[in-house]
């Protein structure tokens, strides 16, 4: 079901139509507004376009850091799993021979 969301941020207003739940869209918009405010506070930039661009860059940086962390955790989990499987194979092999 398509939903329209009116965006009014940094002096710009427009409406987008998306296939997401309205509550979810409002949550994302609130997160973006918070990110914009954070960018304003840490950068001292006042030009809306520059704030929007820098906010987008910082959000992409955050996404990539999270992805890297998840990938690292996935590798660690795989290694641990393989180690446990090897121990189980060894234990089952020992009990089968006895």
Residue 57 CB coordination number (10 Å): 11
Residue 44: what are its φ and ψ, rounded to 5°? Answer: 75, 5
| Contact between 9 and 49 (Cβ < 8 Å) | no
Q: To the nearest whole percent, how much of the chain has pLDDT over 90?
A: 65
Axis crossing angle, helix 48-97 with helix 22-43, rounded to the nearest 10: 110
Q: Residue 94: pLDDT band by 50, 70, 90 thresholds?
A: confident
Residue 20: what are its φ and ψ, rounded to 5°? Answer: -120, 160
The model scores a pTM over 0.75: no
């Amino acid at each position: 079901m398509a939903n329209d969301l009116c965006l009014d941020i940094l002096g710009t207003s427009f409406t987008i139509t998306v296939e997401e739940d309205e509550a979810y869209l409002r949550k994302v918009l609130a997160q973006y507004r918070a990110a914009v405010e954070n960018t304003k506070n840490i950068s001292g930039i006042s030009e809306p376009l520059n704030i929007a661009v820098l906010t987008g860059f910082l959000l992409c940086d955050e996404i990539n850091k999270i992805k890297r962390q998840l990938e690292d955790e996935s590798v660690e989990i795989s290694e641990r799993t393989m180690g446990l499987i090897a121990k189980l194979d060894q234990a089952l092999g020992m009990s089968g021979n006895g």
